[in-house]
Amino acid sequence: MKRAIPVLVLSVAGLIPVWRYAPSHDTGSSSATQAAAPASTPSVSSSGGTTTTVVPGSTLDTEKGPVQVEVTFSGDRIASVRMLRQPDHPQTRAAVPKLIEETLQAQSADIDTVSGATITSDGYKESLQAAIDARG
């Protein structure tokens, strides 16, 4: 845990600019954030080889309201970070559309071009795109 606490502090410090980030508006003001309540007691559970530790972070008062995160460690590694408190501000209410879940299909179709991971010039010869280019 001695190593985990500095990591947690760095994580919180790292999250604040991310959350504060606004692309075009809200320039200028950069009032300092203040650390308030100290971190609560972490809960530790152990199963098998690795120890899972959940650490609630300090509450940070920012200009848009209080922010608190909870970090779950698997051993010394951060497994996940969860927002416990966040201000009611549009920027923090990410509008994630309802994602449609499907099974992966393998199909063939008449197409104009193919999108895929970047292929090298060496790999091009055997690619679908090369066949489309050759067909003209």
Partner 1 sequence: MRRVEHVMGFPVSVRIDDEGFPEAPVDGFFAWLREVDARFSPFRPDSEVSRLDRGEVPAPGPALREVLALCEEYRIATGGAFDVRLPGRGLDPCAVVKGWSVQKGAELLSAAGARRFCLNAGGDVIASGGPWRVGVRHPEHADRLCTVLDLTDRAVATSARYERGDHILDARTGRPATGLLSMTVVAPTLTEADTVATAAFALGAQGVEWAAARENCEVFAVDAARRVLRSPGFPVAGAQGVAA
The residue behind tokens 């200009």 is: 63
114 and 127 in contact (C-beta within 8 Å)?
yes
Q: Which is nearer to partner 1, 13 or 37 (CB)?
A: 13
Q: Which is nearer to partner 1, 14 or 65 (CB)?
A: 14
Report the nearest approach of partner 1 to the CB of residue 14 (Å). 7
Q: How far is the CB of 103 from partner 1 (least distance, A)?
A: 7
Nearer to partner 1, 10 or 44 (CB): 10
* Other residues' Cβ atoms within 10 Å of the Cβ of residue 65: 13
Q: Which residues bind partner 1 (CB under 8 A)?
A: 14-15, 17-18, 21, 23, 77, 94-121, 123-124, 126-130, 132-133, 136
CB of 47 to partner 1, least distance (A): 22
60 contacts: CB under 8 Å, gap ≥ 6: 12, 16, 33, 34, 35, 36, 66, 67, 68
Q: Confirm if 124 and 130 have CB atoms less than 8 A apart.
A: yes
Specify the residue, 29 or 41, whose C-beta has the smaller distance to partner 1. Answer: 29
Quote the least distance from Cβ 10 to partner 1, whole Å: 11
Biggest CA–CA distance in the chain, Å, is 67
